[in-house]
Structure 1
Amino acid sequence: MKKEELKHISTNHYRKIQKHLDRIEKDMDGEEIHQLRVEYKRLRAFFRMLSSSPRVKEEIKVSKKLKQLYSLYGTVRDLQLQQERIKEAVKKDRGRINPYLDLLQMEIDKTEPELQDILSKKPVQESKKKTNAGLPEKFLKNDFHRFVEDKWSSVYAILASDHFSDDNIHSIRKHLKDLFYNLKEYEGKEFRVLSASIWKGQDEKFIAVLLDELGAFQDRCTSIGLLKAYWIKRFTLPAKRLLGELKQQWIKEKTGMKRVLVKKLRTAIRPV
């Protein structure tokens, strides 16, 4: 790909990010926040790939303000999803968890001033200008294959360590996501040829399902993390007991999910 094509791809991602931002500003819609974050991750993965080329002297990164915006909206989305999970998990005695739901909403509301401050500074335009200046003159197929091998080397290193911490499982997901997103930047015959060689004996459908399972595990980790002890201790005894029981249930589910995931990773992903 030549520089103009690289610029076209990044511009398209920035355009979609701005579109989602414009919609989010109206009502903080959860699905729009999700789509914004997906588009940001695709852009970030694209720049990681380009930065792996020997022709790129300095890593291409989005602007600090846009990164802060992504992080803040990530916090908002995690809190929104926690509200949904709690409502789904507690069908009876809903009144006992209302203080926790209110606390989550307060945490969401706290992000508003900082979000508005960043948005007023046009972070998308700023980032686009910054990253355009760092784009290489070209990105070759050999560069792509080198990037793919680097990503798989990182995955294999984690598997070889046999240390499946939550962070390491999350790292595997990020490496595979980088590959998954960047493959989508290619089209037609080029896409088919690359897709056949990138997944190390598996197909794209298998990887897509694996990524969904890794994502569900990460969501469960987040949901447990948001049942913070110093939050729960503020509530009445019935609420504490209910949320404590729910936390233990989710920890048990997480343990089962990890067991299944680790087995799948060990058996299905092998160096070739």
Structure 2
Amino acid sequence: MAGLGVYRTLSRVFPRSFRAKLMAVVAGCTLPPLGVFLAWVLLHEAPTQQQLVIGVSLTVVASLLGVLAALFLLYHLLTPLRMMAEVVRAYWQEQRLPELPEDGRDEVGVLMRGINCGLREIDNGIRELERHALEDPLTHSLSRRGSDRALHACVERAERGLPLALYVLDVDNLKPVNDEYGHVAGDRMLIDLVASARHFLRESDWIGRWGGDEFLLCVHDAQESANERMRQWLRELAAPRPDGIPISVSIGCAQYRPGVDAAQLYREADAAMYAAKAQGGAMLVCDDGLRAVAPAMRVAGA
């Protein structure tokens, strides 16, 4: 940019002072015509009236041209300030990180480096806060807020044609484990549950802790295929873990259909989950949206 060219050119002469750059532009463009006129007057002890008029006229014209040149150079010299204002606006409105030059050593250069560093630190802090707000601190799955946001995003993708099956999970034996082995063992069970789920979830799928021992899973797959993956996972959970305690889970499922919003989809899957618990737990029940509860699909060996 022309402005940065003026700024960098003057930085070779005045590397550490932006004020010196400003004064050099103003003085260099406006004082020479006056200096030349004064020197001309001193060299001509008795100039004629015509010479004086010509000298004054030339000095006025030269001074006006100098002022115009100073305004032009000042406009371009102040370009870094306009760039800084623009990057702050861009981050505020678009969360776009700045890319200001950092080679200046004067006050403006220090300010540009400070804006670059400051906005990056602010952005990192915001991202970290968002991560903590959207992530469950125990299991590192999505939190209730993160799950709600992700569920709405999944429904939006499903509205564009991507298949979606929502599963609501409830751990059947968390309270007995807490009572017999302590809350540390119960927490370990929830952590292992999420870690195990991630082994079969695809990149577009997710698991979130809805609250307590209830979880949501969103799977972008046809229901038959998604259910088969879920049944296989249930069989794996039913196997004893290193501490000898299996994980018993009741799961309700609802398949997205056109016109069904996120809240309705959750209600259907939640009702199916309670139907699974009512039938003894450790099973998968699917709600087809037409009947309250579809026939249960028990896990082999559960």
Same fold (TM over 0.5): no
Which structure has more helix as a fraction of its residues? 1
Which structure has more strand as a fraction of its residues? 2
TM tier relative to shorter chain = under 0.3
Give the greater-gyration-radius structure (CA): 2
TM-score by length of 1: 0.25
